[in-house]
Structure 1
Amino acid sequence: MTRPRPLIPRPDAADSVGVVGEFGLIARVVARSGTAALADVGPGDDAAVVRTPDGRVVACTDVLVEGRHFRRDWSSAEDVGHKAAAANLADVAAMGAVPTALLVGLACPAGTPAAWLEDVASGMAEECERFGAAVVGGDTSASAPDSSAVVLSVTALGDLQGRSPVLRSGARPGDVVAVAGRLGWSACGLAVLRRGFHSPIAAVSAHRRPTPPYAAGPAAADAGATSMCDTSDGLLADAGHLAADSDVLIDLDRAALAAGFLDPVGPLAQVAAALGGDPMAWVLTGGEDHALVATFPDEVELPAGWTTIGTVSAVPAGGEPGVRVDGVPAVRVAEDLGEGTGHVHFG
């Protein structure tokens, strides 16, 4: 493993947000933001106007705080833009919808380089362009005088294209549990960065720029998925949301997870061996890969890209819904791995 190169550009006082001003910054950011195919009115008016062919709008919001969700010495501005967009676009996909637009709220210190924020906008635009989506509006504000952190609040809009939304509450006994996307890579990359290194680059890149399986969400809806969510907080935690909302037990198969998500010579195995850990801890509890976890009727043929990892059963009399791994409760599995069951805000 090698030491990373610095990612923060040399500050230019003449190019700070405080000098450029709110409207100067907005003009520069809008120039980088692309055009949303379904926007009749984009940035510049009091509000955007986005067409809704389905007649319903899927909407979600995520807040990214510097120092908690990203660090400018670990990630480039483009990386931050990609990550901010992906966190929201994955939630839209998890409903079975296709993203159409983003709205962005920004709070930052007056000394923040305007060029850095332009590059954040470029990263968002690149993440959105595959859908014909783009940033269509938002707001900017100076952060509190005693704060040096950049805060991004991103709202994503999506279109169901005639599908029924796939909720967290529809899993049924007899369903199978499946995952699309990668598990554990972002957490592995974070572990590397925390130790002052930047290789294996594949793991570090996965933390800087997650790659959600966007198309897998609508495909799952079309195939008859009964429940689904994004794994932003980790597989155990987010499968737990499906179990709780559906009032079922979800049992994950460790062997299936290892076969599907742990290459014995891949980055997770390499880093875990170097650090003396178990890569399964990242697969089960690592968040921010933005994979999708869903349940399907047993008779359904899973769409391409989905891997079966478990089953759904009824809660026994007197029991409670939850997640198990090979029959062992998730909390105990996480404790044995030296982890919590997933990310907890304010924890």
Structure 2
Amino acid sequence: MSAGKSPRTVRELGEFALIDRINAGRVQAPGVLLGPGDDAALVAAPDGRFVVTTDMLVQGRHFRLDWSGPGDIGRKAIAQNAADVVAMGAAPTAFVVALGCPADTPLELIDGLMDGAWAEAVRAGASIAGGDLVRSRDLVISVTAFGALSGAAPITRAGACVGDIVAVAGRLGWSAAGLDALIAGTTGAEVAEVLAAHRVPQPPYGTVLDALRQFSAHHHASEIGLRALTDVSDGLLADLGHIAAASGVAVDLDSAALRDPALERVATVLAADAMRWVLTGGEDHAFVGTLAPGCPLPAGWRAVGRVVTGHGVTVDGVAQAGDGGWESFRGTDSAAGGAPG
């Protein structure tokens, strides 16, 4: 690099200067007691427990730079981890981000990626406490997320009971519709919202956490509140199938309750099946759970089915043919738009 010329790539700037660049001006959330700059971060555990999860995104498998901007990819990497934490009934407190990239990666790409990651971390109520940088052939982002239960019991997939209401918070099928639009090369106002939904999921963290606070105000919250919960990362059928299997029950969905007129209009444009998107599309990171019979639906939730005896997931009493959603080791290695859990 000639004298006076600003560095343009990771190679030109160097590892430690890049770390300083990533962390400059960032403000840590209250749960991070010690952020970047030492051998490890220090994160508070208010009641002596953590909820912990991790996910990885690989270029060409989970995202494409010609389909999504760096900021979009950064937001998605955080969102899918924050959603897993909230799906356990915990509030996100901190994230650790490990990044692998080629040495000739433009600095503006890293800037955009980390700006997006930070923006989503803040939206989730947390911050990025540290991470790692390595040289790699392709761009790889790995995120570990921490969450606090604040004295509450975790909400697992195993708590559903026969008679429970199945309810959803958030949109279903929009990311899958956006992926189909990208594959088809379709652009324009008719598909703009689903393209945005695919590029940047919008998990309704607050809708879940507000419901949990509402239920915790009652003496018997475990009896009237959310009994089982997961985020929809692999597809509604697949993720409800996990709840059904873990709880030893079956789930029957109501197709009328799942209809989305806005998504149906997009399906007309793409000559596609909107219900297929709703049932098998992942990466929206909506939340689906079961509530005790008679439990009032919290704000932002809608009832879409019931827990019944048996096993598996049906729609209007009918088993569904084909795959229930995303699975990492199906398909080709060149597929993009995957839905890591």
Structure 2 match to 1:327 = 317
Whichever residue aligns with residue 242 of structure 1, its letter is I
What is the CA-CA distance between 1:304 and the residue it aligns to? 0.6
| 1:118-154 deviation per Cα after TM superposition (whole angstroms, max 9, x unaligned) | 11111111112134411111111111xxx3x200000
Within 5 A, what are the aligned runs for 1:306-317?
Answer: 306-315=301-310
**Count, aligned residues:** 314
1:344 partnered with 2:333: no
Structure 2 match to 1:8 = none
Q: CA RMSD in A?
A: 1.6
Whichever residue aligns with residue 214 of structure 1, its letter is Y
Whichever residue aligns with residue 153 of structure 2, its letter is S
Taking the aligned partners of 1:291 and 1:150, their CA distance within structure 2 comes to 26
Within 5 A, what are the aligned runs for 1:106-185?
Answer: 106-143=99-136, 147=137, 149-185=138-174
Q: Cα gap change, 1:32/1:285 in structure 2, threshold over 3 Å: closer, same or farther?
A: farther
Structure 2 match to 1:7 = none
Taking the aligned partners of 1:43 and 1:120, their CA distance within structure 2 comes to 18
What is the CA-CA distance between 1:217 and the residue it aligns to? 2.5
1:34–1:135 contact (8 Å) kept in structure 2: no
TM-score when normalising by structure 2? 0.88
Unaligned runs of at least 5 residues, structure 1 = 1-11, 316-320
Equivalent position to 1:186, from 175, 179, 186: 175
Of the structure 1 ranges 19-28 and 227-236, higher mean CA displacement relative to structure 2 is found in: 19-28
What is the CA-CA distance between 1:32 and the residue it aligns to? 6.0
Structure 1 match to 2:239 = 238
What is the CA-CA distance between 1:280 and the residue it aligns to? 0.6
Whichever residue aligns with residue 123 of structure 2, its letter is R
1:32–1:125 contact (8 Å) kept in structure 2: no
Q: Secondary structure at the match of 1:15?
A: coil
1:163–1:221 contact (8 Å) kept in structure 2: no
Of the structure 1 ranges 49-58 and 242-251, higher mean CA displacement relative to structure 2 is found in: 49-58
What is the CA-CA distance between 1:45 and the residue it aligns to? 0.7
Taking the aligned partners of 1:323 and 1:32, their CA distance within structure 2 comes to 48
TM-score when normalising by structure 1? 0.87
What is the CA-CA distance between 1:13 and the residue it aligns to? 10
Q: Secondary structure at the match of 1:284?
A: helix
Q: Secondary structure at the match of 1:126?
A: helix
| 1:83-136 deviation per Cα after TM superposition (whole angstroms, max 9, x unaligned) | 111000111111111111100111111111122111111111111213441111
Within 5 A, what are the aligned runs for 1:230-269?
Answer: 230-258=231-259, 262-263=260-261, 266=262, 268-269=263-264
Q: Cα gap change, 1:70/1:138 in structure 2, threshold over 3 Å: closer, same or farther?
A: same
Structure 2 match to 1:294 = 289
Whichever residue aligns with residue 133 of structure 1, its letter is A
1:216 partnered with 2:211: no
Unaligned runs of at least 5 residues, structure 2 = 216-224, 331-341
Taking the aligned partners of 2:25 and 2:128, their CA distance within structure 1 comes to 9
